Amino acid sequence: MKALVTGGAGFIGSNLALALLGSGHEVRLLDNFSTGHRSNLDPLDAELVEGDLRSYERVATAVADVEVVVLRGALPSVPRSIQDPLSSTAVNVEGTLNVLLAARDAGVRRVVFASSSSVYGDAPGMPRQESQAPAPLAPYAVSKLAAEQYCMVAHRVYGVETVALRYFNVFGERQDPLSGYAAVIPKFIRLMLDGRRPTIFGDGQTSRDFTHVENVVEANLAAAAAPAAAGRVMNIAVGSAHTLNELTGTLQRLLDSDIEPEYGPPRPGDVSESLADISLARELLGYEPRVEFEEGVQRTIAWIVEQRAAHEARSL
């Protein structure tokens, strides 16, 4: 199979490209390096098309002659979208539509779209089920929901097989802990390794269904092929929730640290609770999360420590 991974220089995209290559597939990457890193491409024997999702011309070049597109490219982060909703909308919605139209024009068999648990917002009802009415709280969540709907329309109207996977708080190796919009787990690990106190926004009882990247990669590989998945939306998570207070306690134990978190006011756009029902993904994809929370945190710590050591060695 020949696959295109958009956002292939990013955290999830590069992990997915590695898995595809390891399974013997031919891989092409599309990235503009706005959030991805060229260093993530070092171990990848893949063709690179450098360009922006907002350019139909570049997208069409990248899509040519591929069987499956994994649409990872996006402008992530709830806080970023609150600061700059226009850019989030342009990349996440218009960029997705460019991919879908280019896929239609090139005869691509399937597009697997990376959606987000943020589309549920603070709607009542846990665990989150795909049948629940979305209630997005931030521009990022709105953009993901709109792109998701474009995927469903492309399937019904244009005959492009589309699958939308709603990721729940993905973390793991190759995730940038230094980004200004770093996800909570790598950010907290980096701060505590530096002897600094992480900041929890709210009382620490905010919960998340933290999902290691290996689980997400496996879900994408299954979604690229599963016949029953076409035209469907499904949750990809572990199916268990952990509070931010639990997370910091786990990090204290694994890092042998007595650093305590600081607490700040809740941030706008953040949901208070997140937990997924993954029964639909189990049914349609044969999905089963392999990496549980603590194992995933241990792997992430090991990767960040290794990267820091390599950086220090290069600086000598």
289 Cβ partners below 8 Å, 6+ apart? Answer: 211, 212, 215, 237, 238, 239, 278
Asked if residue 18 belongs to a domain, the reply is: yes
Asked if residue 115 belongs to a domain, the reply is: yes
Per-residue pLDDT band at 55 (split at 50, 70, 90): very high
Asked if residue 158 belongs to a domain, the reply is: yes
Instruction: Convert the pLDDT of each residue in 202-251 to its tens digit.
Output: 999 999 999 999 999 999 999 999 999 999 999 999 999 999 999 999 99
Evaluate whether 299 touches 291 at the Cβ level (below 8 Å): yes
Question: What mean pLDDT do residues 10-37 have?
Answer: 95
| Per-residue pLDDT at 311 exceeds 80 | no
pLDDT of residue 183: 86
> pTM for this one?
0.94
150 is catalytic: no
Catalytic residue among 140, 150, 167, 287: 140
Asked if residue 309 belongs to a domain, the reply is: no
Average model confidence (pLDDT) across the chain: 94
Asked if residue 83 belongs to a domain, the reply is: yes
Domain count, the chain: 1
Asked if residue 101 belongs to a domain, the reply is: yes
Asked if residue 198 belongs to a domain, the reply is: no
pLDDT of residue 73: 84
Does 177 sit behind a cis peptide bond, omega within 30 degrees of 0 on the bond before it? no
Instruction: Convert the pLDDT of each residue in 120-151 to its tens digit.
Output: 998 888 999 999 999 999 999 999 999 999 99
Asked if residue 71 belongs to a domain, the reply is: yes
| Per-residue pLDDT at 180 exceeds 70 | no
- CA-angle at 82, arms to 76 and 84, nearest 5°: 75
**Residue ranges of E strands in 12-131:** 26-31, 47-50, 68-71, 110-116
Residues above pLDDT 70, as percent of the chain: 98
Looking up residue 156, the CATH number of its domain turns out to be 3.40.50.720
232 Cβ partners below 8 Å, 6+ apart? Answer: 163, 164, 280, 284
pLDDT of residue 316: 63
Structural domain boundaries enclosing 216: 2-172+212-239+275-291
CA–CA separation, 30 and 5 (whole Å): 6
